[in-house]
Structures are given as structure tokens and as C-alpha cells.
Amino acid sequence: MAQTYACTQARFSVSDCYTSCFMLKETLEQGRILADAALERLLPPGTQRPPSIHQAMRHSVFAGGKRLRPILVMEAARMITGSLPDGVDELGAALEMLHTYSLIHDDLPALDNDDLRRGRPTCHVAFGEATAILAGDALQTYAYEVMARLRTTAEARVQIIEEVAHATGTIDGMIGGQVLDLEAEHTHADAATVEYIHRSKTGALITASVVAGGLYAGADKAQVQRIREFGKSAGLAFQIVDDVLDVTQTSEQLGKTAGKDTKSEKSTWPSLYGVDKSLEMADELVYTANKRLDSFGERATTLKELAKFLVERKK
């Protein structure tokens, strides 16, 4: 297996490695807590009429997960201002709602037809297909309602909504990537097609998360461009590792059905390049991503560590 940017790298002393890993663990945990608190505050309670749809939404939103996208939102904003801007956790929550909506729909019988997500029954298994479709729809529309109320400038709100809408759309966005992913099954797609799918289906929302965080905090045009380039490289690395985990981990380890890509005869990074080469390419992408943030100095440290985490994770 390729050497990743782990804390065992020679350029770090033992004390530096320990401090770096401890700080990243704290960032992930604190970010998860903030994101969960915002989601709990923003989402309608399960008793709110009609209760079935709100229970289904909450079933999927609170099924666990790393809350990576909200954390990327918050840390991009922190990098710009030096501290966490008031209300940015609600932007992170909106991105998590959109991510969860995509998972609910991705698991449906018409798409990936999966019955396990984050170690729990998928939404359509627990609540029925019709309710699951509507729960995904509801999370998507509610996310934009939340973004319309963000506590930032009017200009930033409009830019954020445009950014996120494009990232979830059909042109270089999540929905377009999902369509090509479905059409590429059993076709032995070439490398260019697989890269386009990965950058669109997964990478676009990761990129939008960091860009939205920067916009919320008042990043200027040049800063936004550097953040965008970071997101594009880090987002592709994330999906490459996802492909690798699908063939190297068990369903119990992943919290979702392993081996789905192979069963569906999807062209993936490991099927094109092998596991070791795929991990090497993910490492190179993270290196490239992090170089884009060098001009931010020490304020970029956490985002860089998060990028490394994307290729070190085991689920």
C-alpha cells in the first residue's frame, strides 16, 4: 500500500506528529458537535406535522457520519478570518442536508439500490420508497431556505447559493455526475469519464463546501480561487480513496455495503490503476491541494490536515 501523508512522515518529529494528530482529532470532534447542534436546531422535530416525513429526514441526517462537509465549511471560514464566524455552523448544516439528500436518493432501488447506510437501514428501507424520495426532496429545499437566512452579507448569500446550486446540478455537478455514473455501469468507462464522474458526483460538493465557507467569511476573488483549486484536488482524492475502500474494507467497517462498485461493474480508480497506484495518486492530489493554500500561512494548517485525513481514513 502506498505511503500516505500520515503522522509517521519523516519530516515531523514525534512530538510534532502527536500534536498534529491530536489537534485534527479535536477539530473533527468539535466540528461534528457544532454541526449536529445546528442540524438539531434547524430541522423540524419528528413530532412536527406531518411527522412521517420529519422522522424520515432525521433518520438519515442523524444516522452518524463524519460531518466532513460542515467541517470543511467552518475551517475554510476560520482560515479567512482567524476565528469561527458567527452563524457559519448553519451554512455547514445546510451542506450536510444536501449531502444527506444525495445519499437518500443514491440508495434508492432505481439508483444504487442499497439497504445499508452508516450502519443503519437506508431511508427507503425504514420508511418506504415514496417517503424516502420526499425526505430527500425536503432536505434539499430546506437547505436552500437555511442558506437564504445566513447571517452574512446579501452579496455573500447570493454567491453561496449560486455556488452550491451549481455544485449540485447537472453541469459539472452532483446530479450530472450521478447520471453519468449510472450510464457508465457495465461499459468499462475510460479514465477521463471516471475522473469526470468523480469530480462531479463527489468532488463538486466538497469544493462547494470550502468555497462557501470562504465566501461566508468574506474571502476576496483571489482567495476564493485558491480555495476552489484546493477543493477540486482534495475532492477528487476523497473519491479515489472511497473507491479503494470499497474493495479493501468490509461492510461492517464501512457502515455501508462493500463491493458495490465491483458488483455493478463500475469503472473505478482501482479497476483502472490498481489499489497502490490509486493511493499514490490520491496522495499527489492532496499535496497539490495543500500547495494551493500556502499563501494563507499558518491559518491553512487545519484545512491541510483535513485534506490529509481524506486519504488516511478507513471508512
H or E element in which residue 305 lies: helix 301-312
Handedness of CA 84, 81, 150, 222 (dihedral sign): negative
φ and ψ at residue 116, rounded to 5 degrees: -135, 130
CA 141 – CA 100 distance, rounded (Å)? 12
pLDDT digit string (tens) for 12-58? 344 444 456 778 889 999 999 999 999 999 999 999 999 999 999 99
Listed as ranges, residues in the chain with pLDDT below 70 are 1-20, 250-265, 314-315
Q: What is the pLDDT of residue 220?
A: 97
Q: What is the pLDDT of residue 255?
A: 56
Fold of 14-312: Farnesyl Diphosphate Synthase (1.10.600)
Question: Taking CA 133 as the corner, what is the angle to CA 87 and CA 234, rounded to the nearest 5 degrees?
Answer: 50
Task: Write down the residue that cell numbers 458488483 correspond to.
Answer: 263
φ and ψ at residue 117, rounded to 5 degrees: -145, 125
